[in-house]
Amino acid sequence: MAPRRWVPALPAALPLLLLLLPLLPAARAGLGAYFGTKSRYEEVNPHLWRDPLSLGEAAPRAPPGCAALQLRAVLRHGTRFPTAGQVRRLRQLHGRLRAACPGAAALAAGPLGYEESVDGRLAPQGHRDMERLAIRLAARFPALFAARRRLRLASSSKHRCLQSGAAFRRGLGPDLGEHEVEVEVNDSLMRFFDHCAKFVALVEENEAAMCQVNAFKEGPEMRKVLEKVANALCLPVEELNADLVQVAFLTCSYELAIKNVTSPWCSLFNEEDAKVLEYLNDLKQYWKRGYGYDINSRSSCILFQDIFQHLDKAVEESKSSKPISSPLIIQVGHAETLQPLLALMGFFKDDEPLKADNYARQAHRKFRSGRIVPYAANLVFVLYHCDQVETSEEEYQVQILLNEKLMSFHHSNETISTYADLKDYYKDILENCHFKEECELPKVNITAVDEL
Ligand SMILES: *[C@@H]1O[C@H](CO)[C@@H](O)[C@H](O)[C@H]1NC(C)=O
Ligand SMILES: *[C@@H]1O[C@H](CO)[C@@H](O)[C@H](O)[C@H]1NC(C)=O
Ligand SMILES: *[C@@H]1O[C@H](CO)[C@@H](O)[C@H](O)[C@H]1NC(C)=O
Ligand SMILES: *[C@@H]1O[C@H](CO)[C@@H](O)[C@H](O)[C@H]1NC(C)=O
């Protein structure tokens, strides 16, 4: 057996630390910012800690002289339970703990906390996330939500998304009259990644595509975290690996997001460790869902096209003074739905790719998935019809909000754009990016990463 490498002073101090850490608010605030896709929504909108229904100080307002015609929201489901795979892995780690080790005693004695049957389901907190998001969006866009009889609600077929859609609808209140809105399942829009053969073959099922992620797992930064955790748990470092350490960190994030408690698992990590584990999570998002490979974002063309088709239709209807047939379109999907779409649109793109060997240089990266797609993340397109526009003939304007904050358009640095300018900026995607062609498997036999 490998020698234990802990420092003699630590064993005595650790139990005390383990007892104290949950009580320190600083510990809670410290790690919560690094949970990547397992981040609580409040991390990106801290005013919601104080009042979950508040719109915040910088609440975006409709531009003067403009009336909202259509709102399209693409949502990520709310806070969820761990997946069965994560629970299994946690059980594996739990099984290796030694009760005689002071640093592991509290963890070994504690119950696991989750059964595999929770498998990725929406947590009670997730229901609240969605109800409250619905209330805030309705408060922001009262005229549109007054017309919610014509709400169209679509969802991925996953239970957590259907439940999120139902919670969102509940948040809008009971007065929908006899027209109870059905949640329609549409996986070709909300889980396009499953249906994109090229993505599945070349990224999802191609181990070589994750080479940067795997290299980082073996790299010096992770090694340091592994050794530290091994020391704390009195385990030889060979008994741990990046995946097991990550599941301990995930458990810390789940306890916080689901139960609002700081789990003893959190005390294995300090802020530096958390940054390393956040980078590991971001690397995976980057190579599997983001800019890493073009097909990741191109597979979302079907959703992008659908968004603009509905905007077009609303503009046409408005021009011919017809009522807008779909003033409100709410669609519930996954982080994996939103991230590729945001990449397709060019948001949060760093100058350099995220790689196993540039952790330090990426310290201030734009691509931080916890800031982009926490639980209940939402990307909202609002189409306006504007009167008094003296200098321009264009009456139609668009705003885009991510997590209830206005985004700046790349073509102008403004937070509002004419619809014509927006379409012009995305002309190439609108004209040339079509799901069927993009997702066709290439005829030649390639699985090598440099061919992707
Ligand atoms: C899903 O949405 C797409 C695009 O709007 C549409 O073509 C398709 O018919 C929808 N599928 C289902 C099952 O409703
Ligand atoms: C979460 O826990 C903190 C600290 O214990 C407490 O102040 C806060 O009110 C709790 N939040 C919720 C939503 O229960
Ligand atoms: C937007 O602002 C950034 C930084 O303020 C600047 O570098 C960039 O050139 C601007 N882009 C446009 C299109 O004005
Ligand atoms: C692709 O190439 C690999 C190795 O060259 C081979 O094992 C595999 O059978 C080929 N697949 C197809 C579909 O031709």
Question: What confidence tens digit (pLDDT) does each residue in 327-340 have?
Answer: 999 999 999 999 99
What's the CA-to-centroid distance between 447 and ligand 4, angstroms?
Answer: 9
Tell me if residue 195 is catalytic: no
In a domain? residue 17: no
The answer to whether the pTM exceeds 0.85 is: yes
**Residues 415-446: pLDDT tens digits?**
999 999 999 999 999 999 999 999 998 776 66
In a domain? residue 274: yes
In a domain? residue 35: yes
Six token digits for residue 13: 């101090």
In a domain? residue 39: yes
Q: Which domain range does residue 236 map to?
A: 26-45+66-451
Distance between first and last Cα of the chain: 43
**How would residue 11 be classed by pLDDT, with cut points 50, 70 and 90?**
very low
Query: How many domains does the chain fold into?
Result: 1
Tell me, what CATH number does 334's domain have? Answer: 3.40.50.1240
In a domain? residue 148: yes
- Among protein residues, the one with the nearest Cα to ligand 1's atom 12 is 186
In a domain? residue 106: yes
Q: Which residue has the tokens 């509940």?
A: 170
- Among protein residues, the one with the nearest Cα to ligand 1's atom 3 is 189
The ligand that comes nearest to the alpha carbon of residue 412 is 3
Least confident window among 131-140, 183-192, 380-389: 380-389
What was the pLDDT predicted at 182?
A: 83
In a domain? residue 2: no
What's the CA-to-centroid distance between 395 and ligand 2, angstroms?
Answer: 46
Contact present, 140 and 55 (Cβ < 8 Å): yes
Q: Is the pLDDT of residue 30 over 90?
A: no
What was the pLDDT predicted at 191?
A: 98
Six token digits for residue 158: 């996953």
Distance of CA 219 to the CA centre of its chain: 26
What's the CA-to-centroid distance between 25 and ligand 2, angstroms?
Answer: 10
Q: Which helix (H) or strand (E) holds 421?
A: helix 419-425
What's the CA-to-centroid distance between 189 and ligand 1, angstroms?
Answer: 7
Q: In 22-70, which residue ranges form alpha helices assigned H by DSSP?
A: 25-32, 47-50
Query: What lines the ligand 1 site, CB under 6 Å?
Result: 184, 186, 188-189, 306
Our mutation pick for probing the ligand 1 site, out of 186, 337, 436, counting the most ligand atoms within 8 A of Cβ, is: 186
Least confident window among 56-60, 294-298, 331-335, 391-395: 391-395
In a domain? residue 79: yes
**CA dist., res. 59 & res. 68, Å (int):** 16
> For residue 309, which atom of ligand 1 is closest to its CA?
5
